[in-house]
């Protein structure tokens, strides 16, 4: 917390991955609560209870993938069209922006300021999807830091995630 207290107005902190063994499901919420009065923006890439718990803190961005979305809502969601109402619902539950990763179908961005954007993924041979979601989030946030529009950030996100998935290494 001492190091995190150095962050302030408009800084971005990414909370990602599984919580450490034994950590409370509210760990991300606790971190967000301590820093949100300082103007820190949070991007959360988590699943299950940890994702559900942060929604009340109004994170700047969440990035669920399709399996995480299905788990969160206990629903069988098999297409982009079927996923759209759930993305809207995530915003209603508190997420300011939702970057929904749909794998080979691309991504959907639910932007607090500009509505919804959908972008198909490029078609190429997928070599390995490990890290593709992390790359997607990194690409999106690099656009945010550079002041790009939500649509341009989505393009960077899909390009970054796809580049990782298509790389043989």
Nearest by Cα to 143 from 159, 128, 132: 159
* Active-site hit among 30, 45, 114, 134: 134
Nearest by Cα to 159 from 143, 142, 139, 144: 139
Pairing of strands 41-45, 115-119: unpaired
Backbone angles phi, psi at 162, to 5 degrees: -65, -40
Q: Is 76 a catalytic residue?
A: no
- Residues 6 or more apart from 56 whose CB is under 8 A from it? 29, 93, 94
Q: Which residues are marked as active site? A: 134
């Amino acid at each position: 917390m001492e190091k995190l207290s150095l962050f302030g107005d408009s800084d971005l902190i990414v909370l990602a991955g599984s919580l450490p063994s034994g950590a409370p499901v509210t760990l991300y919420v606790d971190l967000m609560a301590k820093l949100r009065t300082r103007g820190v923006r949070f991007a959360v890439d988590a699943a299950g209870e940890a994702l559900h718990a942060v929604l009340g803190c109004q994170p700047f961005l969440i990035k669920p993938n399709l399996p995480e979305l299905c788990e969160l809502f206990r629903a069988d969601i098999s297409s982009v069209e079927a996923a759209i109402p759930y993305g809207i619902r995530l915003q209603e539950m508190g997420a300011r922006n939702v970057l929904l990763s749909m794998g080979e179908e691309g991504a959907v961005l639910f932007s607090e300021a500009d509505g919804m954007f959908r972008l198909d993924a490029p078609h190429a041979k997928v070599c390995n999807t490990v890290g593709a979601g992390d790359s997607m989030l990194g690409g999106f946030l690099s656009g945010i830091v550079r002041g790009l529009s939500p649509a341009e950030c989505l393009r960077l996100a899909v390009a970054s995630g796809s580049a990782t998935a298509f790389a043989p290494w």
